[in-house]
Structure 1
């Protein structure tokens, strides 16, 4: 025990630029950092040296999920402070091959997507807003509701796509269909959504009927890899929060399939969580939240797009918007925790809270970013010369 405790005290020197209190399993309590402590961590059991050096985030995350770590203080503050020291976290990728060495096959990726998005529509309804948008919102001011910010996001994207009546629009990874529903209602476009989630497919089908949009919209259970042989063709393509599930070996394949169904001169808006540099990601997130998920860097997507003669018209970072979105989700989750407890056990609840708050802190610290990139396939000289139309 003393050996593990002494190692942990040494390990804590990696975090001495932030200030908190830490209580050990034997009752000893110490202060870490130079300033007034902002939170308190209680270790109810030792964290093994080997585990911490293999993956700091996975070891801490699992200990918190299992109740061996307790946190006293505001959850966002805790993770926001800890992630200031993320460069000091350990990750031994070779020892975590089961997490980082997964397949990117069609079958495997469907299983991975289903593991997250098919938890149940009733669960997502608890903490998402009425749009059922499970992606970064767009806050024009800090006082906006989550619903208004999600509608802002949808309208911001639709304006960027420069839509007009009769155009065709494909949404790759369409979720519950909120974006396509607004596109059809506002612009009378003909839209198709594709998803791998059975739950999202069923609900989107229902929403199309509820909105009387059967003449404008359809949704299919379909993998993006099926587009190339589909015979389909679109004036516009949008993909929101889906590229993260593709996997680094398949980015080129993704563009190949987009290119196969996008008309010459057509617009493609890609909205995705991005990294400053190429990374395999975080072990805890990959094991428990997004199996198989990989965050592309901005530069590698720009490089691949050029190979397909895609010109970049606009690129926008929504990093702080995603922080605000996640904090809204986390508050909704906490405010409705009794409803969540009817569905899931305490381990799941602790896991999901850690996911929402740690991701909010990750965006706040620039560990990850969110980019919207607007591409045009080839040259289209009929598009507006300025971006003013996006903000009218």
Structure 2
């Protein structure tokens, strides 16, 4: 009885917190725990869609036949002591998602407030994560270059919306291929807003403990603790490189010095070696001109200086234009463009004062293979 009373009081507090936000709370349904247990056959293990640092996602069917994805905290699954930070992440995700309406962002249908940590109910996205399709060589549906380009454009559109067009600006803070879902037509849906943050319109950054996923974290954010919209841009740049190369963000199998994908890719561009590191399914495409354009864009996104990275709106517009060219291309190879890729990439290299150049060198060294083990220990408590 005391437990039910505590949950009831907590539920009222959460409802008050949600009602005080600027989101569309009135459109967010509240589910009972009874409904969600029935939908998932009491959270049966055979209903698990995926598991992550925050919790487990189950596939469920509501009484009206609608298929949903239900996110349940690890605290509830494992009977752990209540972690206030985990609760905060789940509440934060509800608050953020009620302020969002975009075709390339997963839709929150509702939540359940009858448990220690809220259960989140999303639209069901049937084709899993982008990570699976990029890195699983046995995948029955290999992603063509055309679909990869479309996915990149869709994700850029979603992130641009978050930064500029949502009711208040939002930083995603954990952009990665495993947080990009693919629907029945293999269109992208950005997901997982647990550590996302909304900011004031006139705010340029937020100061926070470093969070994110190793291999995707902006080096500038890592050094300063200041997360900006350009930190999302850096992470998106890593996703672009994944789409181009089929390589993982961090891998022990790459040659010495190439453990971290971002500097490995940048060095390959600077050495005119792009086409030697492309995924075979990309290289076999005849759209070499478009591939080079996307590679140059990724290179700019991965600049060590946030100021030199493009904004998401610029990236979205550029990718939309490349998609248009791709759709209207005659498919002919442009050998002159390929030959001159190194010269053109040089124009995008960081050109700075001697002090700025020294800073860039220091940051590259900080992410070199020699320092990697030390960095991994330093951030292991915060980085997933």
| Bucket of the pairwise TM-score, normalised by the shorter protein | under 0.3
With CA pairs under 8 Å and 6+ residues apart, which has the higher RCO, 1 or 2?
1
Query: Whose strand fraction is larger, Structure 1's or Structure 2's?
Result: 1
Q: TM-score, normalised by structure 1?
A: 0.24
